[in-house]
Amino acid sequence: MIDSDPLVSIVIPTFNRENVIKETLDSVTKQTYLNWECIVVDDGSTDLTVQILKEYSINEPRMKYFLRPKNRKKGGNACRNLGFEKSRGDYVQWFDSDDIMHPEMLEEKVSNLRFSDYDFVVCEGIEFKSSITNTFGKWDAISSSTPALDHAIGDISFHTNGPLFRRSFLKDKKLFDESLQRKQEWEFYTRLLLDSKNYYHIKRILYYFRIHEKSINGFNNLDTLKSMINANRKVFKNINSKGNLINNKAHIKKHFTYKLLDLLKKSFKNGLYYNSLLALTGILEINNFKDFYNSLLNVIKNPKIIKRLFS
């Protein structure tokens, strides 16, 4: 390592990951790029996660852990934001506590960012189950000429682990929305892409995204559905505020209206009537009141839409 190599801050939130976090931390310590600090923020684990973090921090001085203070909102987003506040690096890499880094991840990212004018770089990743020899589902759709819009509608997708940011780019920006439990990365990265599309796509798989039974993906409970509804409302509002991005506003309105209709249906079926009202509010926000009235008439007249809503 050259003394002048920029410092990379790896920020990892964690909660009850005693069974997998060692693999994650080991993948950090095996990085070929050496000038890093790893800041792990625990969200109040009740298993052996904190004991594991203590052991790693004793044996590896570049690794530090913090406990989320009680005056900070519970959740991974608050931990991500706190980790950023504690970090010192020229570059910032958020990472999840159950995923695995390719040994050359940091080296590859730094080499593409360091001597360029990009605000950040984004690499590809791949899903795995049990072992990284059992892979499927690449995260490689990350390039676009209109990335903010395409990220908002899902034509491209950044995973939490994908980007490495210049700290100077993130400075003074709102980071992860601590009110969201689901779709927070989607909301955050769409918001950043509205500020800058000056990024580089590294066409190489450099992280492994674990699929396992403790993932919250797919749970139709009160908090996750509420978060998904509010994330959709926030993303549409942010995209809509940049009118120059939208050539076909009717298409965008239709896209988010149908997403919120699906969330309304899931909420209603699960007896989550407050969430149903939130979704309806989002639909009203997307369509002005007159447009919504006309849309409602179209729904009443269209049996296919009725079937979609109540099937």
Q: Where are the domains of the chain?
A: 8-210, 222-310
pTM over 0.85: yes
Q: What share of the chain is helix, strand, coil (3-state, %, to 5)?
A: 45, 20, 35
| Predicted local confidence at residue 249, as pLDDT | 80
Mean pLDDT across 287-296: 65
Task: Please state the rounded mean pLDDT for residues 3-22.
Answer: 95
* Per-residue pLDDT at 301 exceeds 80: no
Give me 142's structure tokens: 């990350």
Residue 305 has pLDDT above 90, yes or no: no
H or E element, residue 189: helix 184-195
Percent of the chain with pLDDT over 90: 79
Q: How confident is the model at residue 110 (pLDDT cuts 50, 70, 90)?
A: very high
Alpha helices by DSSP H, 60-180: 76-86, 105-113, 147-153, 167-170
Question: How confident is the model at residue 295, as a pLDDT?
Answer: 62
Least confidently predicted of 70-84, 168-182, 190-204, 243-257: 243-257
Look up residue 254 and give its two tokens.
Answer: 């239709």
Query: Which is it for strands 100-101 and 199-210: parallel, antiparallel or unpaired?
Result: antiparallel
- Please write the tens of the pLDDT for every residue from 27-47: 999 999 999 999 999 999 999
Return the number of other C-beta atoms located less than 10 Å from residue 23's C-beta. Answer: 18
Distance CA 271, CA 225 (A): 12
When pLDDT is averaged across residues 141-164 and rounded to a whole number, the result is 95
Q: Are 105 and 123 within 8 A, CB to CB?
A: yes
The length of the chain is: 311
Residues 183 and 228 sit within 8 Å (Cβ to Cβ)? yes
Q: What average pLDDT does this structure show over 110-123? A: 97
Q: State the average pLDDT over residues 11-25.
A: 97
Name residue 177's amino acid: D
Tell me if 80 sits within 8 A of 165, measured CB to CB.
Answer: no
Q: Average model confidence (pLDDT) for the chain?
A: 91
Strands 63-67 and 120-129: unpaired
Lowest mean pLDDT of 18-22, 102-106, 245-249, 281-285, name the range.
Answer: 245-249
Q: How confident is the model at residue 139 (pLDDT cuts 50, 70, 90)?
A: very high
219 pLDDT more than 70: no
Split at pLDDT 50, 70, 90, the class of 53 is very high
What value does the mean pLDDT take over residues 286-298? 67
The answer to whether 267 and 279 are in contact (CB under 8 A) is yes
Sign, Cα dihedral of 102, 106, 110, 111: negative
- Cα-based angle 244, 249, 254 (whole degrees, multiple of 5): 145
Q: How far apart (Å, rounded) are the C-alpha atoms in residues 192 and 160?
A: 13
* pLDDT of amino acid 223: 86
Rounded to whole angstroms, how far apart are CA atoms 308 and 143?
32
CATH topology of domain 8-210: Spore Coat Polysaccharide Biosynthesis Protein SpsA; Chain A (3.90.550)
Whole-number pLDDT of residue 241: 87
pLDDT band at 215 (very low <50, low <70, confident <90, very high): low
How many angstroms separate the CA atoms of 48 and 20, rounded? 11
Q: How far apart are CA 81 and CA 208, in angstroms?
A: 23
Which has the higher per-residue pLDDT, 306 or 123? Answer: 123
